[in-house]
Amino acid sequence: MATQRAGDSDLTDYLHQIERRSRRARRIGIGLVALVLAGAAAFGYVLATRKAPPRVWHRPLPAPTAKAFETGGVPLHEAAIDSALAQPLTDLVIQAGNARDHGTTEFARTLAKLRSTDLGQRPKLVAAWQHALDAYGTAVSAAELGATDHDRDVLREAVKELTDQFAAAGLGYFLEGRFHGGYAYIQAYRVDEVVFVVTNGTPRRVLSISRLDHLNTAYAVLGMQDENVGDPVLHMERIAEFVATTELPALAPDAAYPLAEDAWLVTPEGKALAAAIGTAVRREYTAALGGDGASATQIAKLLVERGEIIAKWRDHLEKRHIVFSATDELFVPSDLLQALDGAVPHYQLERVEAIDGVLAELEAPRIHARVHDLVAATVRRHEAQHGFDYDRETEARYPEALATLLGPPHDDQGNEIAIVASARHELSAYLSQIINDPVTPQAALGHLAQQVFSRDRAGTGEFYAGVVVIEGLAKQLGLDTSTSTFHRGLDRERMAAFALAIAKLPDDKLRDAASAVWRTLYGEAATTVVDKPSTQIALAN
């Protein structure tokens, strides 16, 4: 057992009860085997072990419908397509990468297998499928010579047309064709749900997607909007990891929000800010969870304790030059625990197993899903704002506060400067997200604050957007923002003073202040982004 901490006696007692029940269940099971072996099988049905609580929880969803892309809901899926976009597509992309050294025989064989996928009597979908596979074959050859912009456009457009035809048939699949690192890829996702939000009165479709192929590539973002690929999307696996590793642990009493690297979080400024944001985030989630709030607190305490044990394992193994990968799931995989047996103290392994057992008892999967829904909703509004900005007839003005940091939006040849474009997009989306979040605006701001205070995020579009948002909010609170927070880099201590004051705002005051910042930056009212039930939405023609 890990050392008991102050205030944890009730939780520790609960853990002891669960462990005693587990030991008793094992003794009963052993006794039952002995009775059967002795010929006393008639008593077997009297004794039974208690069924272990589930470690997976699926949110209830409506029945799949071919109209999901028009009205919202769960789209259709077919086993043959699921299968083709999983292992065969993965094999195809891997074989494309190996073709330079090992020839194209295996690539051609797998490509032929994919061509024969049963897509039913859907001529347009079949044509788009074959065209996308043709385009990928051409892209693989182009990658060997060095892909041009034309090559990238041809692959992307062919794969996007396939995605569009899936949607037209009511089938929930989202694909992306791209070049990366000198190789051509097709990545495949399953559309789990289609959800509409309303931006300035107009319905906007956002897709919840999860990975279908098994390629070892992934975006480290919760959501994306790329007008060249298709609808805004939420990456459901990334959100699940974010909830398990960041949001749920932050619900433990007095937990600091993980804003930055540990070295800064132990400074007085870092410690105070992380504590204040943690308090604000807990307040919002606890209120939203209602009757599940107490269980969420216990779950969070267990996750924090387990995280401390795993951190010790990682340090111990790194000293032995053994790389221990991150564990981003709600439960520690059993095969990982088995692999660590003998490499880390056995009593700690038992403690982690016991903690995971109690997490299941506390219905952690269901409560994780509730927080997941809250995070998905706020990210969905963020991505919808990106889509709205792209569809504007006239581009929103370039905010002076951002221009002060980054300079003009175009270079001497009139080309868009990438970091300026990124910062403009993220400034609009994050500020809109805070303004339009009816439940967790401080949590949304906390996520943006991570982009500002984490050293490894410095210089990104999200970083500059966060600086402008925090300074703008500080000015609304009457704080002195006349001196720049930049002097050979970000003055984190001064920025932390601004963020600390903002973290103490009630939600309604934060939304009001963010709306005022929007008007100052853009000279117009903020975009309204409103959640609506799928039954109330119909996609405008």
pLDDT at 489: 79
Q: Please, which pLDDT band fits residue 326 given cuts at 50, 70 and 90? A: low
Distance from C-alpha of 285 to C-alpha of 507, rounded to nearest angstrom? 12
> For residue 322, what is the DSSP state?
-
Q: Identify the H or E element spanning 188.
A: strand 183-199
pLDDT-derived band of residue 44, with 50, 70 and 90 as boundaries? Answer: very low
The C-alpha torsion from 158 through 164 and 168 to 171, rounded to 10°, is 100
Domain extent listing, the chain: 9-46, 68-242, 248-362, 396-532
pTM, full prediction: 0.86
Q: Which of 294, 296, 308, 194 is nearest to 243 (CA)?
A: 296
pLDDT for residue 117 is more than 70: yes
- 488 band by pLDDT with thresholds 50, 70 and 90: low
Element (H, E) at 178: strand 173-180
What's the N-to-C CA distance of the chain in angstroms? 62
Residue type, 39: G
pLDDT tens digit sequence for 254-263: 999 999 999 9
Alpha carbons 203 and 535: distance in angstroms, whole number: 12
**Phi, psi torsion values for 147, nearest 5 degrees:** -65, 140
Helical pair 87-102 and 123-145, crossing angle rounded to 10 deg? 30
CA dihedral in degrees (37, 41, 47, 49; nearest 10)? 50
SS3 256: coil
Q: CA geometry: angle at 196 spanning 466 and 530, to 5°?
A: 55
In order of 336, 414, 505, the CA distances from 477 in angstroms are: 49, 38, 10
In degrees, rounded to 5, the angle at the alpha carbon of residue 144 between the alpha carbons of residues 82 and 182 is 70
457 pLDDT more than 90: yes
What pLDDT digit, counting tens, does each position of 213-248 carry?
999 888 889 999 887 788 999 999 999 999 999 999
Least confident of 26-30, 77-81, 376-380: 26-30
Query: Containing H/E element for 207?
Result: strand 202-211
Distance (Å, whole) CA 319 – CA 257: 28
Average pLDDT over residues 187-199: 96
Which amino acid is located at 115 in the chain?
Answer: R
> Which H or E run includes 274?
helix 268-289
Give the model's pLDDT for residue 328. Answer: 80
Q: What is the Cα–Cα distance from 50 to 25, expressed in whole angstroms?
A: 7
Sorting pLDDT into bands at 50, 70 and 90, what band is 26?
A: very low
CB 398 within 8 A of CB 412: no
> CA-to-CA distance for 319 and 354, rounded, in angstroms?
27
Longest CA span, the chain: 91
**pLDDT tens column, 60-81:** 889 999 999 999 999 999 999 9
- 3-state secondary structure at position 357: helix
Give CA–CA dist 41/36, Å, rounded. 4
- Per-residue pLDDT band at 535 (split at 50, 70, 90): very low
Q: 132 pLDDT exceeds 90? A: yes
